[in-house]
Homo-oligomer: A and B are copies of this chain.
Amino acid sequence: MTMDKKYLEEIQELRDETKPTHRATVQSLEDLIYKPISVLDHGFIRVIDYMGDDSAIVQAARVSYGKGTKQKTMDRGLINYLMRHRHSTPFEMCEIKFHVKLPIFVARQWIRHRTANVNEYSARYSIMDKEFYTPSRDHLACQSSINKQGRDDILQGEEAERVLMLLKRDAEQCYASYDEMLNEDAEGNKPDPSRDGLTRELARINLPVSFYTQWYWKIDLHNLFHFMSLRGDPHAQYEIRVYVDAMLEIVKNWVPFAYEAFMEHRFHGSNFSKSGLDVIKKLINGEHVSQETSGISAREWGELMGKLGKV
């Protein structure tokens, strides 16, 4: 990621300012605030604001459970308990606001999470920058057949070259046409005074979904956990998972106890079906059990054995 000097100065200006507050404050997140964290080739994520800390979760839960405690170790234990027993509302009492720059195709997956607030840069009103995503060589995966994994999955040699050339060539041509149709430079003047220029809301339809957009995105901690759980899953597309990686690091610095409980019970936790649990109980008792006698389909049996590390 390279960022305009002008933007970096505006960020620095905000970081240089410090005001006193009576609110819950987290020093390790204050150290990160406003700073862009690079994601993909031109994207970033940065924290704009936050509300609450680990203790705010306990504080809200204490209204539910009566008098509580202020000791750190008890906070940690209570947060673990709340996460374990799916008491999600206290986690909603923390809120975070991000500024994210991301390719349109990633934004389209992201926006499916509805319990969040969004303000997106508008290509109806403003001119899009010439910035598009190109996968790095080691992420040029070929279409997988089921269970096909490993190094073969990455396109090699000439085919990789050709793909990168096509993506780059088409994106550049699309942007050149966009620019020509707009007929408007950075100062709002017409490079070709003999033409009117197409309206922005139509010119932009020529841009591929690899182009970057950006938005302000605000969400509470419970719904952020849900987002990270689904979009940080190995089945999610690589290009959204890298944003989750950056978020996990941010959350770790913000609410370390909640982060720890989330990683333990949800992100690295496993769900087993009724039949799956029956199989587990038999295996623990040393009984023989096979897919055929389990009542579980072959595909699901494979998933079950995978979770148990028996593949």
Chain B residue nearest in CB terms to A274? B268
Q: A117-B89, A119-B90, A281-B309 are in contact. Are A197 and B142 (CB under 8 A)?
A: yes
Total interface residues on A, using CB and 8 Å? 132
Cβ of A246 within 8 Å of any chain B Cβ, yes or no, is: no
Count copies of this chain in the complex: 4
Per-residue 0/1 for A283-311: is the Cβ within 8 Å of any B Cβ (1 yes, 0 no)?
A: 11010000000000101100100011110
Chain B residue nearest in CB terms to A211? B209
Per-residue 0/1 for A16-43: is the Cβ within 8 Å of any B Cβ (1 yes, 0 no)?
A: 0111111111000010011000000000
Q: A19-B25, A77-B297 are in contact. Are A64 and B121 (CB under 8 A)?
A: yes
Chain B residue nearest in CB terms to A282? B284
Bound CA–CA A310/B284 (angstroms): 10
Chain B residue nearest in CB terms to A111? B111
Expressed in whole angstroms, the minimum distance between the Cβ of A36 and any Cβ of chain B is 14
Find residues 106-143 in chain A having any chain B CB closer than 8 Å to their own CB. Answer: 107-108, 111-112, 114-115, 117-122, 124-127, 133, 135, 139-143
- Interfacial chain B residues near A99, Cβ < 8 Å: 63
Q: Does the CB pair A66–B196 fall under 8 Å?
A: no
Chain B residue nearest in CB terms to A175? B170
Q: Does the CB pair B65–A125 fall under 8 Å?
A: yes
Q: Does the CB pair B17–A34 fall under 8 Å?
A: no
Q: Does the CB pair A49–B24 fall under 8 Å?
A: yes
Q: A66-B126, A142-B196 are in contact. Are A269 and B271 (CB under 8 A)?
A: yes
Name 16 extra pairs, CB < 8 A, besides A15-B22, A23-B50, A201-B237.
A20-B20, A20-B25, A61-B119, A64-B121, A84-B300, A111-B112, A133-B205, A143-B197, A143-B198, A171-B206, A174-B208, A205-B210, A263-B274, A265-B273, A270-B272, A283-B284
Q: Which residues in A have some Cβ–Cβ distance to B below 8 Å?
A: 14-15, 17-25, 30, 33-34, 48-52, 56, 59-61, 63-66, 77, 80-81, 84-86, 89-90, 92-93, 95, 97, 99, 103-105, 107-108, 111-112, 114-115, 117-122, 124-127, 133, 135, 139-144, 152, 155, 159, 163, 166-167, 169-171, 173-174, 177, 180-182, 184, 195-202, 204-210, 214-216, 218, 220, 230, 235, 237, 263-265, 268-277, 280-281, 283-284, 286, 297, 299-300, 303, 307-310
| 6 A-B interface contacts by CB (under 8 A) | A63-B120, A108-B111, A143-B196, A163-B181, A270-B277, A280-B308
